[in-house]
Structure 1
């Protein structure tokens, strides 16, 4: 059954976010890679032969061929899977909006149709919306390091859930990712060296040419913001309009273009640990201020609820509840904080069950998607990250890094430290990657959207993105969760729509609020406040 309606779409997207967070646990280093900012040989625009596809009669699909290596375009080619939903407003079409759902490793051919109703109505009316599975991912030429699905399932079940706790689990975790790296090294090492963000940015420009657009109109979420920033600096004259929602600090991602091995893993450089800790603190404070029928984990006050959470974590470290270990619970918590409705309410229920010594009830199964989901193993997102972002290469240093991160970010610091550890043994180095500069003047300004309490890409990263780009305006979403798209605000939608349609930016310092507060009934939608919206950090 096809999913319809924003509530169901957000629920499925919340599940997709959990997958994306899992993808983020495989990252790598490319410390000796060649910069990708030089001119690449001219490549003819691919031909798109649109046909109705199984996503539904409203969607068209195509497959195009692009060079594996744009510096040697006459050699091997790979395939990109592309999906389109035509503009719904007869006679009002402006052009094509390209969408990247993040990840890395997010399959656009799956996630754009599933989340189509989350695009503002005016955008759906005025633009064809096109997305694609980036190279290495999903239905495109994909990284797959297992011979059979059963092998992938067995590998997944053999590593600790969330992150490792204790010496034995740390050894098991490190061994599991060494094994994955060895499998990937044997599978298609040439592909692994050509799935960087710079490669994908060149693919995006090929797709722009294929649909006949003189300039790019683009919306990118999370990792999609780094892709957007890369495109904007590789092809600055081709930017018509670009919305970057829930931003990655490009300087942090690339370790400031340093050739030295970094002291910190990427997610600690990005501040994901502190952003998640600040968002968790908000979750516990708002839960503690809400009645129990609104937040099941409430202990009657913010302070008491924080104490209750800390006590629960201490209990789980000593005595897991069934398969719910401390590591699994923290991983589940970090993922659940991404989408406020229904994620925060459901998380409170799971924490309360664990507090009572009960295994949480499994979430109700979501309706099956209209077509099979392609294989989306961890190695796909990991292969992209391995191409771009350097990390410490010694697995033995991550336990000490975890303990240091926990001082400032608590449980979230432990999770985000280990999320980068698999990079220590990743086998490939990107042949071409882009590490800056990030301030090349673009043909038109960029709109950067940052959420105040974002547990994956903290607000300060949006501030950094707006400062790094040559011409950008920051719009603050004074709310919670990972991206304004997944945590809707009519205010943000209105500003984004006007910008994408006619290029009008929000006023400097503009601030929006979400349509609905956590643990509260729906409120008047999309409040707007202007002036000073870009000053406070999501985490200290």
Structure 2
């Protein structure tokens, strides 16, 4: 039985909670940028070598890798105005070598979006962006660059986002014949955190089917998508825009891309800023690595540590600042809710919206991981956990504080959130029960899962058998309770005897080459995905690099800390490094603002479903950062954070 004390009105906190689910536009299906009359159409996944102008001679002292990539033709992009699609920007699609050992043989298409510098006379060059994932859309990131990059960065750089090969608007890796075959094979992945034997068996079966399909039907592209190949593409794009050296800003997995580039092409680094950093040795693993990649990176431990700190600060702040503290011990409440949902899902019905959603333990944990990607993680966790707790009390026949709590508002908000998150994976997996393997030929094909795993599985080493994952997830439960298994299951398809497609040109180190200019390495104390230890590890490896730490919340520091954002901007523009030992503070700290009281005029009667602004006008909103990069959560199908 669940017991509690009365709770005050939560509508303001819940209004913040629902905002995290509003996202930058991210299509649910593989995308092709259709140009106007002046632009080229997107090519097939693997095409014939196109006509290009010949590259110039390699620069002095070029590395062996640079000399190899310099043999590839320089593309001639046919830029066209794609404002009708994205609201801003110029788009192009270029052909790049599928295999840089054969630079004039088969090619793959890579999509680009460019925002020209607003001050062309004082333009420094081009800044390339990557939002992470792996598999996040650089095109869509560049399309919203004016909402999160600093004004001087936008003045001094052309900004280009590109979709890494195999993903999004670029040529798509495709492991199944059609959407029906894909849905049938992936039905077991609908449960992201399998707990019961039946759920785990289904997940293992689908993960095995996916790995085998990508190792057969998905080739050759699935064996040519390692980060090293993307780094080679990036170097050709740098040459294409006329820059002698690369300027780059990478978030999350994008930090690994920046690290690989800096070690493959050290003489071609102008400025490489990496934020939300992956330990490169942990990412790659070793020959006897029998742990999932995110276990090695420490993602589960980062999530568990961050979540525990939120609940601890809630308890310390008390009920004037955190609703959960007025209900009891926040840690106990979380464990009660998790245990109850593990026993039986919560059915949420909202007849006026035609919604009927089931919140199970798997969805519950995925929700809270995604909430921690936001700098407002404390308020969001407080609101959503409180609502779930109260609805479970109602299910048990208890309604404490009913006169102060709008449970209908809770049902609406949670149902909408659950529906969106279920749609991320469910659009593929849930269809499996209805679609036969031979149906679905005319339905849109969503390759997000395949694209993400084609990078993860070819970049490093993995346990040999998919059947090992239940045991590996159990071990993560001991190391990082609740959250560790959620991360561990992501890469079950990567088992080396399941995913047999290999990229012989993948990069596994060293990560100690000194670049022409030092890297800026940014770590965040309360990052739920990439712990600060990853930034510390890279800074210790990379000669001359400067480590910048930030005591902030959410995934990555840029846009969530004015101090960190300013330091990154100064580095990109002037190559100015922050003082050694600099530690920034986040602009938003949890449970520092008193909660509104019932009857306060500013408290709305219903949760507001509006999207908060990311532009300059957001500075007028107290306590809300005005710039957030659209970093991508790790789950297949997840839309970027906004």
Which TM class, normalised by the smaller chain length? 0.7 to 0.9
Partner of 2:150: 120
- Does structure 2 conserve the Cα–Cα contact (< 8 Å) formed by 1:14 and 1:339? no
Partner of 1:370: none
Partner of 1:332: 367
Q: Does 1:310 align with 2:335?
A: yes
Gaps of 5+ in 2: 1-16, 30-63, 348-357, 396-410, 421-443, 594-621, 627-642
Partner of 2:571: 499
- Does structure 1 conserve the Cα–Cα contact (< 8 Å) formed by 2:318 and 2:325? yes
- Aligned partners of 1:457, 1:320: CA distance in 2, in Å? 30
Q: Does 1:408 align with 2:479?
A: yes
Q: Does 1:40 align with 2:68?
A: yes
Change (3 A) 1:421 1:469: same
- Does structure 2 conserve the Cα–Cα contact (< 8 Å) formed by 1:287 and 1:297? yes
What is the CA distance between 1:294 and its match in structure 2? 5.8
What is the CA distance between 1:416 and its match in structure 2? 1.8
- Does structure 1 conserve the Cα–Cα contact (< 8 Å) formed by 2:127 and 2:160? yes
What is the CA distance between 1:267 and its match in structure 2? 0.9
Aligned match for 1:270, one of 290, 297, 321: 297
- Does structure 1 conserve the Cα–Cα contact (< 8 Å) formed by 2:552 and 2:560? no
- Per-residue CA deviation, residues 365-418 of structure 1 (Å, 9 max, x unaligned), is 99xxxxxx9945211010011110211122232222222222231101221222
- Aligned partners of 1:498, 1:353: CA distance in 2, in Å? 42
SS in 1 for 2:373: coil
Partner of 2:581: 509
Deviates further, 285-294 or 330-339 = 285-294
Partner of 1:131: 161
- Does structure 2 conserve the Cα–Cα contact (< 8 Å) formed by 1:143 and 1:380? yes
- Aligned partners of 1:161, 1:15: CA distance in 2, in Å? 25
Change (3 A) 1:468 1:399: same
Change (3 A) 1:152 1:283: farther
**TM-score relative to the length of structure 1:** 0.84
- Aligned partners of 1:524, 1:8: CA distance in 2, in Å? 15
Partner of 2:192: 162
Partner of 1:32: none
- Per-residue CA deviation, residues 199-251 of structure 1 (Å, 9 max, x unaligned), is 00000000000000010000000111111011001100000011000000001
Change (3 A) 1:374 1:159: closer
Change (3 A) 1:364 1:113: farther
Question: Aligned pairs, how many?
Answer: 490
Change (3 A) 1:115 1:281: farther
- Aligned partners of 1:428, 1:46: CA distance in 2, in Å? 28
SS in 1 for 2:127: strand
- Aligned partners of 1:293, 1:161: CA distance in 2, in Å? 37
Q: Does 1:238 align with 2:268?
A: yes
Partner of 1:384: 455
- Aligned partners of 2:227, 2:271: CA distance in 1, in Å? 19
- Aligned partners of 1:62, 1:389: CA distance in 2, in Å? 31
Partner of 2:78: 49
Deviates further, 117-126 or 442-451 = 117-126
**TM-score relative to the length of structure 2:** 0.71
SS in 2 for 1:384: helix
Following superposition of structure 1 onto structure 2, how do residues 80-479 of structure 1 map, counting pairs within 5 Å?
A: 80-89=110-119, 91-149=121-179, 152=182, 157-255=187-285, 258=286, 260-290=287-317, 295-299=322-326, 304-322=329-347, 323-341=358-376, 344-355=378-389, 356-357=391-392, 360-363=414-417, 375-424=446-495, 425-479=498-552
- Aligned partners of 1:389, 1:175: CA distance in 2, in Å? 22
- Does structure 2 conserve the Cα–Cα contact (< 8 Å) formed by 1:152 and 1:377? no
- Aligned partners of 2:87, 2:372: CA distance in 1, in Å? 34
Structure of higher CA gyration radius: 2
Change (3 A) 1:13 1:156: farther
Change (3 A) 1:476 1:320: same
